[in-house]
Amino acid sequence: MKAIVQDRYGSPGVLQLREVERPAVGDRDVLVRVRAASVNARDWHLVRGDPYLARLVLGLRGPKVRIRGTDFAGRVEAVGKEVTRLRPGDEVFGEAEGAFAEYVCAPADAVEPKPANLTFEQAAAVPLAGNTALMGLRDLGRLGPGQRVLVNGASGGVGTFAIQLAKAFGAEVTGVCGTRNAELVRSLGADHVVDYSREDFTRTGRRHDLVLDLVGNRTLAAYLRALTPGGTLVLSGGGTSEGGSPVGPMALLMKGRALAPFVRRRLLVLTATPDRRNLAVLREFIESGRVTPAVDRTYPLRKTPEAIRYLEVEHARAKVVITV
C-alpha cells in the first residue's frame, strides 16, 4: 500500500510517499481502507520532533511510529476475530496512528460508523478535533445552558467544533480569532467575536464561566482575569508555538498543572484520548444538524507535506483534509 513515511525529524519535506506493507489486523482491531484523513497541529509537531522533550517518548533519533496521521474515514476491509460490532463494508471514522495511508489498522474501540450525512472528507475532519472540543467543554468544563464560554483559537480545527458544541449545550459563546476568520466564527454560531489583533480578551472586563484555551498565547494570570469567581480554565493550547524549544507548548500546560491546587478557580489541563463513545455523541450532533465540520481545503495523499506546511505556516482555518 502507499503511505506517507517519516524516517527522521525535520520540515514537512522529510515526509515521503512510499510503498509499505499493509498492517496486520489484531484480534480486537479493524482494518480500514482509508478514503480521507485530516491534518492536526500534532502532525507538524511530530514531523519536527518538537518540543525536544517529547522525543523521549516519540524516539530520540527518529520517530518510532513512521507513518503519520491519526484521523481517518473509510470502509472496513477486515475485522479481528473478537470484533463483532463492525463488519467489512461498513463506512466508519476514527482515530489511530498511521492514517496517512491507503489502509490503517485501528483498535475497534476507537472506530464508529460515520455520520450518514457526511462525505468521507467531512467525516475525517471530526475525530481528534471534535473529541478534544467535546471533552474540554462537557467533561472538564461541565458546560451547561446559560453559561458564558470563551474559546481562544475559535477558527482552528478544535475551535470550530467547540463553538458549535457550546451552542448546542445552550451556552453564550465568545470566539477569539483573527480578522480574516471573524465571519467564519460568526457563521458557526458565536454570539460574540473578539479580533485578537485589535483587542485583548483578558482586558475587556467581560468575565466567562469557562475559558477553553486552544492557543497558549497568554499568561495564566491573564487567563484567570477573564473568568468569573467560580469559573473554569481548560488548557489545551500550544498548536501555534514556535518550534525548536525544549518544552515548547508544554510549558504553559506544565505551569497549569503545578499551580492548579493553589488558585481559587478551577484550572484544568485537557489530555484528549480516543473514545468511540465520544464519536457516537459527535455523530448524533452532526446527524441532527447541530454540528457541521468546517473544511478549509483538501490535498491528495502525495501532497501531504504541502498540507502540513500549510497548516503550520499559514495557520489554516478549520480543518485541512487529505484525500486517499
Q: Which residue has the cell 467525516?
A: 123
| Class of the CATH-defined domain 2-125+294-323 | alpha beta
What letter would DSSP give residue 137?
A: I
Instruction: Let me know the angle formed at the C-alpha of 113 by 107 and 117, rounded to the nearest 5 degrees.
Output: 145
pLDDT of res. 241 = 44
What value does the mean pLDDT take over residues 32-57?
87
What value does the mean pLDDT take over residues 87-112?
97
pLDDT of res. 58 = 75
Q: Which helix (H) or strand (E) holds 39?
A: strand 29-39
Complete edge-to-edge strand list for the sheet that includes strand 192-195: 192-195, 172-177, 148-152, 208-213, 227-235, 266-269
Q: Which among 43-57, 93-107, 304-318 has the top mean pLDDT?
A: 93-107
pLDDT tens digits for range 232-288: 999 986 544 444 455 555 666 666 666 667 577 789 999 889 999 999 999 999 999
pLDDT of res. 262 = 59
Residue type, 131: N
Q: Report the percentage of the chain scoring pLDDT > 70.
A: 92
Q: Which residue has the cell 474559546?
A: 151
**Domains 2-125+294-323 and 129-269 are alike in CATH topology:** no
Give the whole-angstrom CA distance, residue 259 versus residue 266: 11
Cβ burial, residue 55 (10 Å; 0-12/13-18/19+):
middle
Architecture (CATH level 2) of domain 129-269: 3-Layer(aba) Sandwich (3.40)
Give the whole-angstrom CA distance, residue 189 versus residue 153: 15
pLDDT of res. 211 = 97
The structure's pTM equals 0.92
Q: Which helix (H) or strand (E) holds 184?
A: helix 182-187
What value does the mean pLDDT take over residues 226-232?
95
Name 268's bridge partners: 234
What value does the mean pLDDT take over residues 39-48?
89
Break the chain into its structural domains and give their ranges.
2-125+294-323, 129-269
pLDDT tens digits for range 146-186: 999 999 999 999 999 999 999 999 999 999 999 999 999 99
The C-alpha cell that represents 114 in the structure block = 460515520
